[in-house]
């Protein structure tokens, strides 16, 4: 598998499953067998994941990426042995960093939930090609990642504008929109992965879906008030 297909979800899922270290191996940079040069994407993804690990209180040295050819078996064995020793010295994930297990699980779950959002927001940087290793440390800054989480966008459906057309509900990839025919739709903020599908799907003439940045969304309309009573054609003409 091309290293460019390694997703941040894979990395943080491994940590969620109790792995103390994650290693990613890729082809040498500029020696891609295809035209994708996915190893650059893997590098950028790793640099971003390391910053996120710092943000949630984990040692970024638990994640490592190396580039080598399939003919370098000796180097692969050497690198893996070195990384294995390093992870052993770091100790158990979370415990060595002073993070309780329940809190660790909560932080990792939140990161995994936001992976689609993170990839969309940082898509341009993830696609860049860093030629000089001296550029690695500055691609994603600590302040940048802090803002990424503190200013995360949320999506809210205005009950005054929602027409219960079900377009956003049908397109939501995780079923985070509650509502049916003649029912005002509501975004389940726990399930929402911030992918912006609902915002893009909502017809412009309605404009019911709005972005909320860095703060709580308005409370959802009570269930008993979500039914939309449509006027008949005659009533519309009289009004």
Burial 79-94 (b: 16+ CB within 10 A, else e): beeebeeebeebeebb
Contact between residue 208 and residue 162 where contact means Cβ atoms under 8 Å apart: yes
Summarised one tens digit per residue, pLDDT across range 58-108 is 999 999 999 998 899 999 999 999 999 999 999 999 999 999 999 999 999
Per-residue pLDDT band for 230 (boundaries 50, 70, 90) equals: confident
Rounded to whole angstroms, what are the CA distances from 53 to 8, 68, 87, 177, 237?
11, 25, 15, 30, 60
Summarised one tens digit per residue, pLDDT across range 122-168 is 999 999 999 899 999 999 999 999 999 998 899 999 999 999 999 99
Strands 63-67 and 209-213: unpaired
Contact between residue 204 and residue 161 where contact means Cβ atoms under 8 Å apart: no
Rg for the chain, CA atoms, rounded: 23
> Where in the chain are the domains?
3-150, 153-228
Task: Determine if the pTM surpasses 0.85.
Answer: no
Class of the CATH-defined domain 153-228: alpha beta
Contact between residue 198 and residue 171 where contact means Cβ atoms under 8 Å apart: yes
Question: At 78, is the secondary structure helix, strand, or coil?
Answer: helix
Per-residue pLDDT band for 234 (boundaries 50, 70, 90) equals: low
């Amino acid at each position: 598998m091309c290293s460019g297909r390694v997703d941040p979800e894979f990395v943080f899922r491994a940590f969620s499953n109790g792995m103390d270290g994650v290693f990613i191996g890729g082809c040498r940079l500029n020696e891609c067998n295809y035209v994708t040069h996915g190893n650059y994407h893997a590098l950028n993804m790793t640099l971003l994941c390391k910053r996120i690990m710092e943000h949630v209180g984990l040692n970024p040295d638990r994640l490592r990426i190396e580039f080598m050819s399939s003919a370098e078996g000796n180097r692969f064995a050497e690198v893996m042995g070195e990384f294995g020793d390093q992870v052993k010295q770091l100790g158990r994930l979370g415990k060595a960093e002073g993070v309780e297990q329940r809190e660790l699980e909560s932080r990792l779950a939140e990161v995994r939930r936001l992976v689609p959002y993170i990839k969309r927001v940082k898509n341009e940087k993830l696609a860049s090609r860093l030629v000089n290793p001296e550029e690695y440390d500055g691609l994603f800054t600590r302040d940048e990642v802090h803002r990424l989480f503190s200013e995360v966008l949320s999506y809210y459906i205005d009950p005054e504008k929602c027409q219960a057309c079900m377009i956003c509900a049908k397109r939501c990839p995780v079923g985070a929109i509650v509502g049916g025919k003649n029912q005002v739709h509501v975004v389940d903020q726990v399930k929402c992965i911030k992918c912006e599908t609902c915002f893009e799907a909502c017809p412009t003439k309605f404009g019911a879906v709005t972005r909320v940045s860095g703060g709580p969304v308005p409370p959802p309309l009570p269930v008993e008030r979500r039914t939309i009573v449509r006027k008949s054609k005659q009533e519309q003409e009289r009004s």
